[in-house]
Structure 1
């Protein structure tokens, strides 16, 4: 019996979908090999000693932040600044008790609270950080996961506010304060936290023909968009980080920065934590987490290594043992254009509400 043209067309379409569609899907929105690699990864802290250095960690009461703080303390960090919206006294007491039990000197631990829902709350951090003699390592782990749409007092969806805008503001205000201690042979490091979630969120991040890109992502509807809001906010942060790193390099070459600094992102991988536990009730997120989840201390180790990177890690995404590539959607021409839009719109928002930040932006202007 002869095969009809319709049947041939259907078979061809199926073959094309299998041949091209699945590889595209795996590369663009679900890089499963990367997830499996992280699940099996067992990194160790590569820096033997942080003696004489200062490390500042936001989200220090969280699963990754608290464990990262302990890893720094175990390697003799001199000053540890624990920053969180919640009180970190319990974390401080655990670190001190472990130091005493193991015969180590207790680090000087400072407890600072911060309100990342407002720009004014974020500015408090920079004012306090000016009192530090040096600032070798900044690890920005603070973030939220919200499946219900809410707005911050600044008028932004809360994931966009905390995970992106507030982290960007904190980084910009701390950038001029980065300063290596006398015993630190490498430039100070400022590290943002990125995540696999930027991949499945990418199809929902199209650029609007008119109007603000950030507002388009902030003014989302409940449902699919809000379900991807964590990944969307982290993708914005990844755009910002890459642009910030490029501008820091230019400012250093042109003598507009007093010293050198390494700016990068680090991926801790997936773990079941207080942040991700809401995924237990959703089938697909739960299955993805079960594929990749590992002990939070392993993720914290990856973050500490990222925040201890040499200058070769500048502008890179630091993973367990090497550097990860940027997601494909960020490497295309449209992604480069989106990166500039994110930088420009963020600058307009922050300069309007935080006038003091203008001096930092001017230092980072390309000339």
Structure 2
């Protein structure tokens, strides 16, 4: 009898090694993508941003500040640095470096934003009204919270900043996206995504009853909080894909615009450095980590993409696939749920977005 089960067990082991492990990795650990990013050396595709206006949230961060310098080196006309912190230091660095190279300095605006509140995001939207054009919007702002806290709006802070406030800012800026006279391409709005969505996906089951967003927000410290960054980014990716689908439908009220997401890859930065003390996160980070300058370059290419990149995930010079769980029928249903629940929350607390949501709803019904 034992001799009978031995080949069966061997066959089962071979099946697991041949099919099970690759399937598991495809769902939760995209190692090929991480390897390719670690080895990748993207360069900036667009040679000049002369006459254009660029807005960057998280401009005081490792990626945002480097992206700002890339734009400044390539003759951007107006550079808007947005962060919860004062970005005057970044502005002074850019101006000093350009002065040493005898290059023309752009018009650099420094705006602060409180992304813990919807009112703070609304203030950013009001400032954008003064812009004559807005060619590129790069939304890099985000937080990594290891302990559960709630925002003044009643949401777990990762979901508040990385998802809800970022989604709100995109809606508030959407009407002001307009290419400058010298820019032949549609304006681009780029969300920032991450491989952290993959391992977080197994904690993102949709409840049969009640609010999906509240289900994810009412989490606990420990495993759920450890995955909260990835979960918040997964919600944002759902939102970005749905927004892109609705904006791409012909109709009045919204100019032609490219909406995409960009995956910069991973790097050791002040945001991720706390993971140095944790064995598994450190090993995962080290597998794919690269220079923050390269990550910033990938983001600049993402927010400079052509109209063909609409609705896609940009990764270095190429596009990447959506995570498997988002491509299934259950993922499409979750996306609709995220869109509708987000709409309900934002329309309730930020009534000024209601006309835009109504217009997007009409476009989707065409």
Query: Please, what TM-score do these two structures have when normalized by structure 1?
Result: 0.97
1:1-367 correspondence to structure 2 within 5 Å? 3-250=2-249, 253-257=250-254, 259-365=255-361, 366-367=364-365
CA deviations over 1:83-114 (Å, ceiling 9, x no partner): 00000111000100111111111100000000
In the comparison of the two structures, how many residue pairs are matched? 363
Gaps of 5+ in 1: none
CA deviations over 1:64-95 (Å, ceiling 9, x no partner): 00000000000000000000000011100010
Query: Please, what TM-score do these two structures have when normalized by structure 2?
Result: 0.97
In structure 1, how many angstroms separate the alpha carbons of the residues matched to 2:184 and 2:208? 48
Shift of 1:14: 2.5
CA deviations over 1:195-242 (Å, ceiling 9, x no partner): 000011111111111111111111111111110000000000000000
In structure 2, how many angstroms separate the alpha carbons of the residues matched to 1:91 and 1:354? 31
Q: 1:131 to 1:256 in 2, by over 3 A?
A: closer
In structure 2, how many angstroms separate the alpha carbons of the residues matched to 1:342 and 1:192? 16
CA deviations over 1:38-57 (Å, ceiling 9, x no partner): 00111111111000000000
Shift of 1:4: 4.7
In structure 1, how many angstroms separate the alpha carbons of the residues matched to 2:108 and 2:253? 32
- Contact preservation (8 Å) 2:188, 2:259: yes
Structure 1 segments of 4+ aligned residues over 6 angstroms from their partners: none
Gaps of 5+ in 2: none
Secondary structure of the residue aligned to 1:117 is: coil
In structure 2, how many angstroms separate the alpha carbons of the residues matched to 1:40 and 1:6? 44
Secondary structure of the residue aligned to 1:301 is: helix
In structure 1, how many angstroms separate the alpha carbons of the residues matched to 2:12 and 2:308? 45
Secondary structure of the residue aligned to 2:50 is: coil
Give the superposed CA RMSD. 1.0
- Contact preservation (8 Å) 2:55, 2:136: yes
Shift of 1:19: 2.1
In structure 2, how many angstroms separate the alpha carbons of the residues matched to 1:240 and 1:147? 24
In structure 2, how many angstroms separate the alpha carbons of the residues matched to 1:158 and 1:14? 43
Secondary structure of the residue aligned to 2:209 is: coil
Shift of 1:7: 4.3
In structure 1, how many angstroms separate the alpha carbons of the residues matched to 2:246 and 2:333? 16
In structure 2, how many angstroms separate the alpha carbons of the residues matched to 1:37 and 1:11? 33
Secondary structure of the residue aligned to 2:317 is: coil
Secondary structure of the residue aligned to 1:298 is: helix
Secondary structure of the residue aligned to 1:70 is: helix
